[in-house]
Amino acid sequence: MKKASLREAYGRTLVELGRENKDIVVLDADLSGSTKTQMFAKEFPERFFNIGIAEQDMIGTAAGLAVAGKIPFASTFAIFATGRAWEQIRQSVAYAKLNVKIVASHGGITVGDDGGSHQAVEDVGLMRILPNMTVIVPADAIEMAQVIRTVAAYNGPVYVRSARIDFPVIYEGTDYKFQIGKGNILREGNDITIMAMGLMVHFALEAASLLSLQGIESRVVNMSTIKPIDRQLILNSARKTGMILTVEEHLVTGGLGSAVCEVVAEEYPVPVKRIGIKDRFGISGKPDKLLSYFHLTPQDIVAEAKQLLNSKPRLLRAVG
């Protein structure tokens, strides 16, 4: 299985954008080697600003650059971007409705050895609750490159989450075109819908293959835009399969699962089961070990899917 780095896709795309548009500027907070903004810094040193270990100041500076008509991309690890600088993002970016792109690496537990202090499990929630903010979690390096191009052309605040580890490539050789606010159906099925974000999209596809061997056909959706969420597709899936399983490398509160529940609860109640991290922080370990530990493997998705399918009649009685 081919894997590719989302961070490198980001760095490469920034360089391309930098060549095309002199208003693209990039900021980092002493992590340009990790976030790959260094690639841009090498080619455009005059348009790269290392603000040092000062995330709040980095966000404020990016806001100022946007006020003056630049298109700033600000990068650091997800937890520092959305945690340390949350209120700066709220006031100086979202409230001001400024054209700032916050692209953070190291989302989720697959950060690995560094441990819970460095694993953002709440970043999507922190960004999703902010008015004016768009939140995107790409599923592979190809989508990442498309997302970066798309958000550069979109006028408004955006948060993009990537990861430390390489992701399996999903979209190679397809004519997929990322659109803000549109989920992407990767596999069709009538029995259950599995909606996922980020790395979990690939796992959902693997789970769907395993389920298919057992005669269960799943619709698999890459819900890369968490906000604005694709209500249409959620409701269509709820009607079609009567139940939804969400999968995210994030707390089950605040992220994709919550967003899906909000839509179905208000408009077309069907059973939803949220797979993700349950009210706890991350810990040190190798990414694959951690994924097993947190029950975020294709096998876990299969088990949860079957449980949800088994409970369908009972749940439907409850709803009906």
Partner 1 sequence: MDFIRNIDCLRQIAREVRKDILTMLNKAGSGHTGGSLSAVELLTALFFAKLRHDPQKPCWKDRDRFILSKGHAAPVLYAILARCGYFEREELLHLRELGSRLQGHPDSKFTPGVEVPTGSLGQGLSMANGIALAARLDGLSTRVYVLLGDGEVQEGQVWEAAMTAGHYKLDNVCAILDNNGLQIDGWVKDVKNVEPLAPKWEAFGWAVLEIDGHNFGEILSALDKAEEIKGKPTIIIAHTVKGKGVSFFENKAKYHGVAPTNEELERALKELENA
Active-site positions read: 55
Least distance to partner 1 from the beta carbon of 40, Å?
Answer: 14
Nearer to partner 1, 81 or 201 (CB): 81
Tell me the window of 84-92, 113-121, 200-208, 226-234 that interacts with partner 1 (CB under 8 A). Answer: 84-92
For residues 47-66, which are near partner 1 according to CB under 8 A?
Answer: 47, 49, 51-52, 54, 56-66
What is the dihedral angle through the alpha carbons of 217, 191, 228, 12, rounded to the nearest 10 degrees? -10
- Under the binding rule (CB under 8 A), the answer on residue 68 touching partner 1 is yes
Least distance to partner 1 from the beta carbon of 100, Å?
Answer: 9
Task: Give the binding-site size for partner 1 (rule: CB under 8 A).
Answer: 30
Per-residue DSSP letter, 29: S
Least distance to partner 1 from the beta carbon of 60, Å?
Answer: 2
Nearer to partner 1, 48 or 167 (CB): 48
Least distance to partner 1 from the beta carbon of 56, Å?
Answer: 5
CA-based nearest residue to 9, from 146, 178, 120:
146
The two tokens of residue 104 are 């953070």
Contact yes or no for 204/153 (Cβ under 8 A): no
Q: Are strands 101-104 and 71-75 parallel, antiparallel or unpaired?
A: parallel
- Under the binding rule (CB under 8 A), the answer on residue 88 touching partner 1 is yes
Among residues 87, 113, 262, 288, the one that binds partner 1 under rule CB under 8 A? 87
Least distance to partner 1 from the beta carbon of 253, Å?
Answer: 26
The two tokens of residue 82 are 């959305």
Nearer to partner 1, 96 or 210 (CB): 96
Cα 70 from Cα 98, distance rounded (Å): 10
Q: Provide the sign of the torsion angle of the four alpha carbons 111, 165, 305, 218, taken in this order.
A: positive
Cα 135 from Cα 192, distance rounded (Å): 25
Omega prior to 228 cis, within 30 of 0? yes
Would you list the DSSP string of 149-182?
A: HHHHHS-S-EEEE--SS-EE--STTS-----TT-
Please tell me the total number of residues recorded for the chain in this structure. 320
- Under the binding rule (CB under 8 A), the answer on residue 69 touching partner 1 is yes
What's the maximum distance between 2 C-alpha atoms anywhere in the chain? Answer: 64
Least distance to partner 1 from the beta carbon of 43, Å?
Answer: 15
Nearer to partner 1, 67 or 319 (CB): 67
Tell me the window of 93-101, 158-166, 197-205, 241-249 that interacts with partner 1 (CB under 8 A). Answer: 93-101
Contact yes or no for 233/221 (Cβ under 8 A): yes
- Under the binding rule (CB under 8 A), the answer on residue 67 touching partner 1 is yes
Among residues 96, 129, 169, 235, the one that binds partner 1 under rule CB under 8 A? 96
Nearer to partner 1, 25 or 151 (CB): 25
For residues 11-40, which are near partner 1 according to CB under 8 A?
Answer: 25
Q: For the chain, percent helix, then strand, then coil, each to nearest 5?
A: 45, 20, 35
Nearer to partner 1, 6 or 65 (CB): 65
Contact yes or no for 5/141 (Cβ under 8 A): yes
> Contact positions toward partner 1, by CB under 8 A?
25, 46-47, 49, 51-52, 54, 56-70, 72, 87-88, 91-92, 95-97
